[in-house]
Structure formats: structure tokens, C-alpha cells
Structure 1
Amino acid sequence: MSDDADPLHRIIARKVRANGLNPRWWVTNAYPWLRRRLRDAAFRGLMDLRRRDAFDHYEAEWDNLVILDACRYDLFASTHDLPGELEQRRSKGSATSEWLRRHFAHRDAHDTVYVTANPMYRATEWVGADLSGTFHDVIDITEGAFVEDGTTMPYTVAAAAAWAADEYPNKRLLVHFMQPHHPFVSAFARERGLLDPEMRLRQFATEGETHRDAGPWQTWSRQVDEGDLPVETLWRAYRDNLKLALPAVHDLLDALDGRTVVTSDHGNMLGERATPFAETVWGHPQEYQTPELVGVPWLVTNPDAPRRATTADPPIDRTARDAADDELSDRLSALGYA
């Protein structure tokens, strides 16, 4: 059975009329199709129930929200050395595309400037919403001279965020680091061949994050299954990517006024089993609500800091954006980041 433009009940009726007297059709086609439908419905229902307790990052009290992409809570808690009070939150999404959709698909964030090393906000097909007019401004550092080894390095993000803080003192600042998400760029990862030369930031805007997070995780999971890659090696590379970002985040905290929170959009799975069907999951497919995928850190770095006065203004026009891009590029080039 396959879906088409007709309502589902008409599809079923047509298939039964055509094949209902054929026992083989029931065994090889109808029953497997029904099982998949029931399984998918049960999965969606359970995930929706779990998502009821999800945390709205945008509605929380912050002036600066620092996102560490794909940073699960247990990794952050055991690795970070940042100041502040750490708690765990349940994210609304298990992938960046889902996180963006569930937070911003029906919301104007015109009091916010988005500094991002992840181009997913441009991937309308994958996000399921057009976010082009959502923020007052978007500082996109995902292409050209900003990119090294298929990613944007943490100090480039921090420098862009510091520039945005000076440029927009009356706006909330949403700063999206790419790490600890792969590509894994540490010396350890390079020595073990984990820096995938085919993985590029542009792929997020064109291929998105599939149900199985295909690509590197698919390859690595197969290597683990075949005994060619210890899962501990992946864990080390994942942790090293976070360690690469933390010094840049620490320095950025000193450059920001107001209340600053460090968190993540979603977590990551490294072969753990996901309920309700005990399937092994790698990476971060959408719609899952497992502790590894939606348990994220919430670190208020300066809980007693005075709040910054912010205002909501319409998104800036393209001409102004081009001029600002040139100024940002010049500043980052002078600092050696681009």
C-alpha cells in the first residue's frame, strides 16, 4: 500500500476490493502496512505525551542564550567548567530543525538577534516553516571564510556574538555554536579518521536531518557494529568537541551584559536504545523524546546580573544587512577569525 492524494479510507477500500481475496496480499502487504501504521501512531502518541513537559527556551528569563548544538545534559555536566547554577531541562525537539520549528514557527522574535553557526534556520523544507522574518537580525557565519574543516569554529562564533552585542545593545542575543555537534575536529578525532571530509555545513540547509540522521552517524554506527570502531572513541571525539567550545564560551561570557544562560537545542544518542520499541539510535533524529536527546543543560551563569532593557523592532532590511555583514567580516578578519 502507498499513500496518494485520496483520503486514507478510500485507498484502503480500493486496495481491499482489488486484493481482498488474495491471502498472499494480506500476509505480505496489508498486515505489514497495518503494523507500521499502528507502530507509527503509537510512537507519535507517546512522544506527544512526553513533549507536554517540554521547556520553552524562548519564554525563559535571559538576555543572552548560548546554544551548544547537540550537547546532551550528562556530557555537559561532566565536562564544563563554566560559572553558574546548572539544571536540566526537557527540550522541545530532538534535532535543530524540530527545535526551531517548535519555538519559532508561529512566533515573532523581533527583540532577538540570532548569531548562528548552524544554517538550519534557512532550511525551510526541513524546519517546516519560513523563519526569514522571525528575528530582528540573523548573523549567519556558516559560509565562506567563516568555515574551516566543514564547520564554524567556536572563537569565530564568540567574536561574531561580541560584535552583535555591541551592534545591538537593546536586543536579546541568541548565540548558536555548532559544537559539540560533528564534524569532530579535535586532534584525537583527526588521528582516527573521524573528521568526515564530505560533511559540510551547507548539507544541513540542503539535506537536513533525516529520520536516521544519515551520513557520518550511519557510517560510524555500522563501524561500531562491525567491531571496527569502539564506541568509546566516538564518545571521546564528542567530548573533545565540547571541550573545544568551552573556552570560547567562557571568554564570551565576559563580553556580554545582562543575564546569560548556556544550554543546548537537543542532545545526541550514541547507540542507546529508545523507547517504546527498544530500537538502537545514533545521532539525533527528529521527534524522539529520550533522555539522551531532549535532556539538555540549563546553566544560568550570572543569576544576580541586572537584566538588559530590550525592545522589539521589525527585521532589518537587506541593504542594512549587507553593510553589517561587511563590517562584521572586516572585524573578524582583523581578529584572525575569517
Structure 2
Amino acid sequence: MPTDDGRSHMNLGRIKKGLSNPRLVARFLREQGGNALLRWIFDDSGVRVLDQEWDTLVILDCGRYDIFAELEPSSGTLRKKRSAGSVTADFLKRNFSGRRAHDVVYLSANPQVANHREHLDVHKVIGMWHDDKREKQGQENRRGLTDPEPVVDRAIELHEEYPNKRHIVHLLPPHVPHIFKDGAELPTDSPYRNYEAARAGEVDASEMRDIYSENYEYVIDAIQPLIDEIDGKIVVTADHGELLGEGMPRWMKHLHNRWGNQWWKYDFGHYGDIDVPELVDVPWLELPVETRRETVSEPPVTDEYETESIRSQLEALGYR
């Protein structure tokens, strides 16, 4: 009959066997808490947006600092800041969890905001991931998921409706699905809409970087009417960055459980608690301001978004 010492010897034997086979070690670590270890290692001391001075915070989803700097508008002061997360969910949790922000109205085109609504103690959340006018075209229409123009229009309306609040305007571009390539709209079956073809080696990383930059520039131009119409201090930033072929250290790929042993897939996209500059370095563009907006905190009011479409829209954006 085995004793406790016997079981200890068997466990020690398994550990020795594992140490002699790095693949077994990687599999064990990944299955038994690789993501937890990455989370423990990740430096989440990035900027806390609620503590910064702004009246309107414009968030461009997946907006890398280095490429934004290449596309930077002529006005304003640009700084590089570190995000508290490398995915939207962590950005939301680390910036808003346990914080009261009843002077904030949060408009978002990203359904992750509703998916993590419990972390946001704000005055109101408005979601624009479901648009009846575009729904008739189908979920995979060319612009319906990421088009910034209706979001900008709604943001201007909300500034008029809530003039005494700070506003967060969370747009999706340059997040996939991409809208344009070489100035033309991409069809729904284009390999350039997302990173699947690039992960499979069918599209060159330099092409994807160019497309990402083009869609990044498009959303920067699209927010100009908002900048022109509203008052107060405006800051343009991002929740996190994007990998465009650079990937991450191999040991991070071993620990992360999104793609298992398909290491090459990690070279594109964004992943939780991955501490690399391409994912955590974000722009912080402070635009010139003449007068600040006077804001007040008031109890939360009813949100405006549909819950039925959250799951399908998350899937369409590659979250599930």
C-alpha cells in the first residue's frame, strides 16, 4: 500500500520527467495557470485615466503609440503613456473597478464595455455596437461594426444632452474588422479584414501594418468633427495597442492559452497581460484648450444599449 512518502516520490518522479521535457513543462504551466502567471508578472502601473485632466477622452481601440506618432495631427501635445492593460477588458477593470465616476458619460462602440459593466460606476453607458439602420445589411456588413462616423455624431449629441459631464468616446478603429485598403472599402470576405490570413502566412506582415495604419488614419480624421464641435479639454488616447507581426517572447506564447501550441498565431492581435511595447505603449494627445467644462457628479441613470447582440458582436470582433 502506497504511503504519503510513496506518493511524494511518484510526484517527484513526474516533476523530474517534466523537467527533462520542456514541452511537458510548458503544457503543465499553461494548463495550470499560465495566464495567472502572466497576470502576476504584468506591470499594471500604467496611466489611470480617471486621474488625468480631460473633459472628453477619445479612445481609439487597439491604437499603437508608434504608428499614431507617424500619423499625428498637427495640433496638440503628444506623449507616450503606458496603458494599465493589453486588452480592453483589463483596461476597463484596472481603470474603473472600485472607482466612482458619476461625472462620466461613457459612449462605446466596443461591446466589451457592456460585457464588463459591473466595473463601471459611471453616470451612464451608451452602447453603439448594435445599429438598427445597419443591421439590415447583416452582422458582417462592411462598416457596421467599426464605422466611426455614427459614433462621432452620437458623441456630439451627448455633449449637448449632458453638458455638465465628462465624456468618454470609445471608437473601434483601428480594431479589426478593417474597413479600407488603398482607399477602397474591403469586401466582407477579404483576407485583409482581420488577421486570420496573416496568421496563416497568406498575407505579409508589412501589408497588414499598412492597412492598420490606413484605418488608423481614417479614424483620426473621422473624429475631427467632434473636436471642432465640442468645448473643454480633449485628450485622444487608446486602451491598448496591437501586434502587427512582431509577436512576443516565446515564453509568453508558452504560458498564454489562447492558441495553445500554434505559436505563430500570437504574432498578430492583442492578448491579456502581455507586457510588450506594441501592446502597452499608447498615445496621449492633449489638444489645445481655451476653456474647461464645468462638470458635476450625479447618481447613475439608465444605460442605453442592447444586451441581445453583445455575444454575437464580440464573436464578430474576434473576442470569442
Q: Same fold judged by TM-score > 0.5? A: yes
Q: Report 1:106-125 matches (<5 A).
A: 106-124=98-116
Amino acid at match of 1:233: E
Deviations, residues 39-75 of structure 1 (Å, cap 9, x unaligned): 7676444323xx33x1111210000000011000011
Q: Tell me which of 5, 14, 17 is aligned to 1:27.
A: 17
- 1:222 lines up with 2:217 in the alignment: no
**Map of 2:205 onto structure 1:** 231
**Map of 2:224 onto structure 1:** 250
- 1:266 lines up with 2:237 in the alignment: no
**Map of 1:140 onto structure 2:** 127
- As a proportion of its length, which structure holds more helix? 1
TM-score by length of 1: 0.72
Structure 1: how far apart are the matches of 2:99 and 2:91?
13
User: How far off is 1:19 after superposition?
Assistant: 7.8
Structure 1: how far apart are the matches of 2:246 and 2:91?
21
Q: Tell me which of 53, 62, 68 is aligned to 1:70.
A: 62
Relative distance call for 1:317 and 1:190 in structure 2 (3 A) is closer
Relative distance call for 1:229 and 1:19 in structure 2 (3 A) is farther
Q: Secondary structure at the match of 1:253?
A: helix
Deviations, residues 118-137 of structure 1 (Å, cap 9, x unaligned): 1101214xxxx614x62211
TM-score by length of 2: 0.76
Amino acid at match of 1:145: D
Amino acid at match of 1:111: D
Q: CA RMSD in A?
A: 3.2
**Map of 2:186 onto structure 1:** 190
Relative distance call for 1:16 and 1:223 in structure 2 (3 A) is farther
User: How far off is 1:274 after superposition?
Assistant: 2.5
User: How far off is 1:273 after superposition?
Assistant: 4.0
User: How far off is 1:80 after superposition?
Assistant: 2.9
- 1:102 lines up with 2:94 in the alignment: yes
Structure 1: how far apart are the matches of 2:65 and 2:13?
51
Q: Report 1:1-338 matches (<5 A).
A: 17=7, 20=10, 23=13, 27=17, 32-33=24-25, 36=29, 43-48=38-43, 51-52=44-45, 54-124=46-116, 130-131=118-119, 134-145=121-132, 147=134, 148-149=141-142, 150-188=144-182, 190=186, 193-194=190-191, 196=193, 216-217=194-195, 219-224=196-201, 228-275=202-249, 277=251, 279=253, 281-302=267-288, 304-317=289-302
Work out whether residues 180 and 245 of structure 1, in 8 Å CA contact, stay in contact via their aligned partners in 2.
yes
Identity of aligned residues (%): 32
User: How far off is 1:221 after superposition?
Assistant: 4.0
Structure 1: how far apart are the matches of 2:49 and 2:250?
26
Work out whether residues 261 and 298 of structure 1, in 8 Å CA contact, stay in contact via their aligned partners in 2.
yes
User: How far off is 1:152 after superposition?
Assistant: 3.6
